[in-house]
Structure 1
Amino acid sequence: MLGRNAENLCHITVSGLLNAVLTHLHPSYLSAPPTGSAGRPFLFYSQVHRTFWSKTDTFAVWAQPLPTMEFAELIKTTKVDHVVLSRPGLPSVKGTLCITSHHLLLSSQPGGNEEQGQIELWLLIRNVDAIEKSVQNLSWYQSARTNGSPPETRLANASGTITLKCKDLKILQLEIPGMEECLNIASSIEALSSVESVMMTYPFFYRPQNMKLEDGWGLHRLEEFYQQIAADVMLRSSQPLVGPNRKRCQKDELLLHAVLAGGDRGFVLETRSAQAAKQARMLGGGTEHRSAYPGWKRFHRPLERGRPLQESFIKLVEACNDPSHSMDRWLSKLEASKWLYHVKEALSTACLVAQCMDREEACVLVHGAEGTDTTLLVTALAQVILDPNCRTLTGFQGLLEREWIQAGHPFCLRCAHSAYSHVRLKHEAPTFLLFLDCVWQLGRQFPLSLEFNEGFLLALFEHSYASPYGTFLCNNEKERKLCEVKEKTHSLWPWLNSKGEEFLNLLYAHNPLVIWPSVEPQSLLLWQGLFLRWVRSSHHLDDAWGEIQKIMKSTQED
C-alpha cells in the first residue's frame, strides 16, 4: 500500500451551535511517510461459500505534535440578517444566516403573532465544493475634505451574491446585504470547507441521540469471512512488483499455484492496458510472468481512473446544469462526457469476471496498479451480479465494508472535491460514484432483485463526499486506526438501517440466480435521480412511487 505525506490533525471541542462558541484545540497527531510495499495484498472471494481471506502490508509510522488553533479565527462574520436564499425549483426565502464551525444555517424570518422562524437551510460546510461571488447595487460616495486632504471614495448600498456549489451537485444562491458581510461570509465558508485535518471534521463532534459510539462498527466484521477457500474463487491484489529486472516472488507464485490445486485453471484480469502495464514495469511494477504462473491466463480490460474519470464527471454535470441546449446539443454533450461509456466498460468487465466464475468455473485474479480503485470497482460489481446476498440491504453494506472501506479505497483523496471545484485537481476521481451508478443500472434492469432503492444509493453518494458519520473518513484502515475513528465517531450503518422503508425496495423478491445485465447503449440510461435531481422537479416520479407503495402495502395486508 502506498504511503502518503504527513498530515496535521487537531481535536477540538465545540459549545453552542448558532454562535459557535469555541474552546481551544487539543493537539493530536498523525503522519505516515511515503513508503513502498514489498509484496501485494490479496483478497479471495469464494462463489460457493462467499468467503474472504485477506493479507495486508505493514508500514512505518511517526508522530508529529501540532500547534493549537481556534475555529473562531476562521469565522469573520457569524450572523447576517435579511439574507435571501434561492434554490432551483423552489421559492426564495428571506431570513437570518448563521455560520458555525461546521454548518451554514438559514432561519426564515418569523411572521406575526410571535411565530418562530423555520430552519430553511442546514448545510454541512464540508459539502461546499466551490464558492462564487458577485456584486449588485454597486454605488460610490465621497467623504468631505478634511484639513485639505483629498476626499475618500467608499462603497455605498452594495450587496453581494454568493453561489454555493455543493459536492452533492446542488447549487444554492445567497443574496447578502452589505459588501463587507458578503465577503466575510464567503471567506469564512472557504476557510472552513478547506480544513485539511481529519480530526477537525464534523464526525468527531456529532453526537446523535439514542446512538452509542460503538453502534454499527461491528455489524460487518471481516473476520467472519476468514474461512477456508473453496473451489472457484475471485482474488484481488495490487500489481506484482516485477520491475525492469523482472524480479520474481516465490511466495506469490506458490500462493497462486495453491489456488489452482486440483487442475483448475485461472484468469488474471488486468484493469490496465498492455502498454500501461509495460510502462509500470519501468517504475517497479508490472505484470505476472507467464512461465512463473502456469495455469493462469492474463487478459487486459483497461478501465479509466484518476483524472480522465474526474473530467468525464465534470463534463456530464456541466451538460446537466445547462438548460439552454437543444436535444441534439444535449445528446452530443452527453456522449462527449463519456460517462455512460465508463458505466458500460465497468459493467462489461464485471460481467466477464462473473462469467469466468459462473460458467467457466475458473478462478479469477483482478488487479490494476495499487488495487484500490478499478480493481475494487470490478470485484464489487461482480459480487453484486453473482451473489444474491450482496443484493440485500445488509449484504450490500457488508460488501462496501470489505470491498471499499477496509480494502483501502482512498475516500479522503478521491472525494476531496466533486464536479464544481476550481482548485487544481490532484487525486480526485469518482470511482465510487461510478460503482453506485452501475448498481443503479442493475436495479433498473432487475427491479425485483435489489432489496434497497435509489434513495439508498443517493444517500451513499452524499455521505461519501460529506457526512456527519465516520464510515467514509480517511484513506485506509491504518489512518482510521490512528485517528481513532471507530472510538470517536458514529457509524453510518445504524442511521441507514433506522430509516425503515425509506431505503427499501418494496418490489423486492429474493432472486437466487445470477443477474446478467445488458450493456448495449439502449440499455444504459443517465441516472436522472442523481444528475438531474437539483435541475428539474421529480414530483411526478415521486407520486408514481407513492402509488406503487400504497398498492404494495394493500396487497401485503390482503
Structure 2
Amino acid sequence: LLIYELSVHSNEEMYRIYQTLNDYCNRENVSLLCALNYKPDFTFEEDGWHIFSLKREFADLLQRGECRISSVNVDYSICPSYPREILTLACISDDLLRESAQFRRDGRFPIITYYHPSKSTYIAVCAEALSVSRVGKTGLEASESSPGEFRSSAGLQTAAAAKCRVDEQLLAALLPASRRGTIIDLRVIQSKKKSSLGIEMDQFNPQWKRLSRPITEPSDIRSIFREFIQAYTRPVSLQQPGSKPPSAMSSLLQFTGGGGGGGSGGGEPTSGHADASPELGAETVEGSVAKVSLKRTTGWLSLLLEALTAAVAAAAALDGQDAAAQQQLQQEKLLCQTAEAATGTAGNGNAELQERLAGMQTQGACVLVLGQQGRDRTLLVSSLVQIILAPGVRTIRGFEALIYRDWLLAGHAFGETCRHSAFSMSLSQRDSPIFLLFLDCVWQIWCQYPSCFEFNEDFLIFLAKHAYVSEFGTFLGNSEQDRENLELASKTISLWSYVNRPEVLANFLNPLYSAPSAGTDGSSASTACWPCLAPQALVMRCAVVFVVGPGSAPPGQPDPGPVILRNSGWLAGQ
C-alpha cells in the first residue's frame, strides 16, 4: 500500500485536491466503474458467472429429499436481498415462508446455508422478528409509526397472535423430530432495547435453546476498523535524539501479536473470553521504540474474538460438541443401563451393553443464527462455522463457492459496505468491513492449521483488495437482483474466471496443504479445525515496512519527498 503525502501552498488548494480525489473514488454512476469498461487481455476456460449454483452445491442433499430449492422469491417480491432460489427444508411450504417474511426485518426469513453430514444437522440464518407495533396491515411495514398514529389494542393483539402462530409453526418445522435446536443470537442487548424489535418465540418450543453471543454492531465495527488503520498508517518517527537518521531499508518495524499463531492442536473447541483485549507489546528496532496498545487504541482483536467465539459456539452445537450434547448422551446411556438392569440380563449381556454404550455418540443440534439485519454478522458466523467443520470449503474452489453462497447470493451489501476504504471521509451508515473481518478470522484459523488450507495468505489479500477496488464485476451490487439489473454477467468479467486460470492459481497454492483422506463412506475423515480463542493465539498481521523520507534517495536520483510506504497486510489492502 502506497501512501503519498503532497505538499501544497494553501488550505484552499488542499481541499480542492482532496475533493477531486474523493469524487473520483466515490462515483455514483455505475457505468463509470472500471469493471464495466475493463477489456481483459487474457483468455479463460470457464465463465466464473456460471460455475456455481445452489443445485450443484447441494446436489447430494437434494437427492436425499431432506431439502428442496424454493422459488418463492422468484420475482424478488418477498425479500429483495435474497436470491430467486433459496434452500429450505422439504417440510416447509412456500406459504409458511411468505408468512414468516412478513414478520421478519426486510423480509429475511430463515434459509439454510450449510448441511453438516456427519450429524445430519444444518445451519440457517435469518433477520430478527419485527415487533408487534411495527407490523402493518401487510406485515412488511418496518418504519416507525407517524406521530399521533393510534393502534387499537385489538389490532395489536391480533398481530401478536398471528406473529406468535407463525413463529411457532416455523420453529417447529425447522426442527426435525427428536432433535435439539440452538438459536445463536448475535444482537447486542442495547440494540434490542433501542429498536424494541421482537424476541423469538422460542420459549413456546422447549426443544430450542437460545445462546447469546453478541457481536459488535456494524457501525461500531466501522469505527473500530478506522481507528485501527489510522493507528498504523500515521507517520511513525523512528529517529531518537542523538541518533543517525535511519536509512529507507533498514528502518524495519514489525508489529506482531504476542504469542504468535500457535494452534490448539485440534480436537474439541477451546473456550475464550469475548471481553479480552490482547495488547501488542513494544518492539525495539535499531534503537527506535514504538509502543502500540490495541486495548487503548482499537478493539479489532476483540472483534476477532467475538466472531470466532460465536462461530465456535454454533459449530460446537452443530457437531454435538457442546455441553447440552454431552448431557443428552449421559442421559441416554443412563436410560440404556436402567432398561438393561430391569430385564435382569447378565453374563454376555453385560459385554453387549458395554459395547453398545461405547458406540453411542453425541447428537448435534440444528442451529439458527439470528442477527438484526441478517445480512452481515449472521453471514459472518455461518461462513466461519463452515470453515471450522467442512474441509471442502478450505480448498480454493470450495472457498469461492462459500463466498458465492453465503455472501453474494445471501445478499451481503458489498456495494455499500465495501464502497469506501478506511481512509475515506465520506463514509455512509452501511460502510462496515464485515467481509474483511471474515477474511481476518479465516487467516487466524489458517495460522493455527496451515496444512488444512489449500490456499495461502496471498489469496486472502487478493480477495480483500478486489472487494473494494476491482476490474471484475463479482463484488459489485448489493444483491443478486442488483447484479441482474446491472447485467454484470454479460458486461463484466467474473473474478473467478481470472482466479481459476492455472497460471494464476499457482500463485495462491499453499505448499503445506495436505488433502484430507476420504473415508469408506465417501465422507471426509479429517478433523475439524477448532480455533484456539486464547488472546495470545490471535495474530496481528500489520507491519510498518519502511519509511522513505527526504534525503533517503540514492545518489543521482531525485528526492521522493515524504512518501511513506507501508505494508499493513490485507487489512488495509483496499
Q: TM-score range by the shorter chain?
A: 0.5 to 0.7
Structure 2 residue aligned with 1:475: 478
Q: Which runs of 5+ in 1 are unaligned?
A: 1-168, 542-558
Q: Which has the higher helix share?
A: 2
1:298 aligns with 2:244: no
Structure 2 residue aligned with 1:515: 529
Displacement, 1:310? Answer: 1.1
Q: Taking structure 1 as reference, are residues 407 and 213 closer, same or farther at Cα in structure 2, changes over 3 Å only? A: farther
Alignment partner of 2:508 out of 498, 503, 509: 503
Tell which deviates more after alignment, 377-386 or 240-249. Answer: 240-249
Q: Taking structure 1 as reference, are residues 276 and 213 closer, same or farther at Cα in structure 2, changes over 3 Å only? A: farther
Distance in 1, Cα, partners of 2:437 & 2:427: 21
Distance in 2, Cα, partners of 1:356 & 1:177: 62
Structure 2 residue aligned with 1:20: none
Q: Which runs of 5+ in 2 are unaligned?
A: 68-114, 134-155, 239-281, 284-288, 326-363, 517-525, 548-563, 570-574
Displacement, 1:537? Answer: 7.5
Q: Taking structure 1 as reference, are residues 201 and 264 closer, same or farther at Cα in structure 2, changes over 3 Å only? A: same
Q: Deviations over 1:401-451 (max 9, x none)?
A: 111111111111111212111235422111100000000111111110111
Q: Taking structure 1 as reference, are residues 424 and 454 closer, same or farther at Cα in structure 2, changes over 3 Å only? A: closer
Q: Is the 8 A contact 2:188 2:217 kept in 1?
A: no
Distance in 1, Cα, partners of 2:535 & 2:33: 41
Q: Which AA in structure 2 matches 1:510? A: A
Alignment partner of 1:311 out of 223, 229, 242: 223
Structure 2 residue aligned with 1:528: 542
Structure 2 residue aligned with 1:233: 122
Report the 3-state secondary structure (helix = DSSP H, G, I; strand = E; otherwise coil) of the residue aligned with 1:267.
strand
Alignment partner of 1:262 out of 169, 174, 177: 177
1:218 aligns with 2:131: no
Distance in 1, Cα, partners of 2:171 & 2:50: 31
Tell which deviates more after alignment, 495-504 or 416-425. Answer: 416-425
Distance in 1, Cα, partners of 2:128 & 2:408: 19
Alignment partner of 1:484 out of 483, 487, 507: 487
Distance in 1, Cα, partners of 2:455 & 2:57: 23
Displacement, 1:276? Answer: 2.5
Structure 2 residue aligned with 1:109: none
Report the 3-state secondary structure (helix = DSSP H, G, I; strand = E; otherwise coil) of the residue aligned with 1:464.
helix
Alignment partner of 2:199 out of 272, 278, 287: 287
Displacement, 1:206? Answer: 0.7
Structure 2 residue aligned with 1:461: 464
Distance in 1, Cα, partners of 2:487 & 2:425: 32
Over the matched positions of the two proteins, sequence identity in percent amounts to 35
Q: Taking structure 1 as reference, are residues 501 and 348 closer, same or farther at Cα in structure 2, changes over 3 Å only? A: same
Q: Which has the higher strand share?
A: 1
Q: Taking structure 1 as reference, are residues 215 and 225 closer, same or farther at Cα in structure 2, changes over 3 Å only? A: closer
1:419 aligns with 2:430: no
Displacement, 1:299? Answer: 2.0
Distance in 1, Cα, partners of 2:237 & 2:204: 58
Displacement, 1:189? Answer: 3.5
Match runs of 1:4-153 below 5 Å: none
Match runs of 1:240-251 below 5 Å: 240-244=129-133, 245=156, 246=160, 248=163, 250-251=165-166
Distance in 2, Cα, partners of 1:185 & 1:178: 11
Distance in 2, Cα, partners of 1:183 & 1:355: 53
Q: Deviations over 1:498-526 (max 9, x none)?
A: 21321111110124210111111110011
Tell which deviates more after alignment, 300-309 or 368-377. Answer: 300-309
Displacement, 1:454? Answer: 0.6
Match runs of 1:371-386 below 5 Å: 371-386=374-389
Displacement, 1:479? Answer: 1.0
Q: Is the 8 A contact 1:232 1:357 kept in 2?
A: yes
Structure 1 residue aligned with 2:274: none
Alignment partner of 1:332 out of 272, 293, 312: 293
Distance in 1, Cα, partners of 2:468 & 2:425: 16
Q: Deviations over 1:26-56 (max 9, x none)?
A: xxxxxxxxxxxxxxxxxxxxxxxxxxxxxxx
Distance in 2, Cα, partners of 1:214 & 1:509: 26
Displacement, 1:175? Answer: 7.2
Distance in 2, Cα, partners of 1:521 & 1:291: 35
Structure 2 residue aligned with 1:388: 391
TM norm structure 1: 0.60
1:320 aligns with 2:232: yes
Q: Is the 8 A contact 1:415 1:428 kept in 2?
A: yes
Distance in 1, Cα, partners of 2:129 & 2:470: 35
Distance in 1, Cα, partners of 2:537 & 2:11: 51
Q: Is the 8 A contact 1:264 1:295 kept in 2?
A: yes
Displacement, 1:478? Answer: 1.2
Report the 3-state secondary structure (helix = DSSP H, G, I; strand = E; otherwise coil) of the residue aligned with 2:183.
strand
Q: Is the 8 A contact 1:206 1:489 kept in 2?
A: yes
Q: Is the 8 A contact 2:168 2:201 kept in 1?
A: no
Structure 2 residue aligned with 1:19: none
1:452 aligns with 2:466: no
Q: Is the 8 A contact 1:319 1:330 kept in 2?
A: no
Q: Is the 8 A contact 1:236 1:365 kept in 2?
A: yes
Distance in 2, Cα, partners of 1:364 & 1:256: 11
Displacement, 1:317? Answer: 1.2
Q: Which AA in structure 2 matches 1:519? A: L
Q: Is the 8 A contact 1:242 1:248 kept in 2?
A: no
Q: Which AA in structure 2 matches 1:220? A: F
Q: Which has the higher contact order (CA 8 A, sep 6+)?
A: 2
Q: Is the 8 A contact 1:386 1:515 kept in 2?
A: yes
Distance in 2, Cα, partners of 1:532 & 1:340: 21
Displacement, 1:270? Answer: 0.8
Q: Is the 8 A contact 1:305 1:373 kept in 2?
A: no
Q: Deviations over 1:68-119 (max 9, x none)?
A: xxxxxxxxxxxxxxxxxxxxxxxxxxxxxxxxxxxxxxxxxxxxxxxxxxxx
Displacement, 1:274? Answer: 3.6
Q: Is the 8 A contact 1:319 1:334 kept in 2?
A: no
Q: Taking structure 1 as reference, are residues 221 and 324 closer, same or farther at Cα in structure 2, changes over 3 Å only? A: same
Displacement, 1:180? Answer: 12
Distance in 1, Cα, partners of 2:512 & 2:164: 50
What CA RMSD, in Å, does the superposition of the two structures yield over aligned residues?
A: 3.2
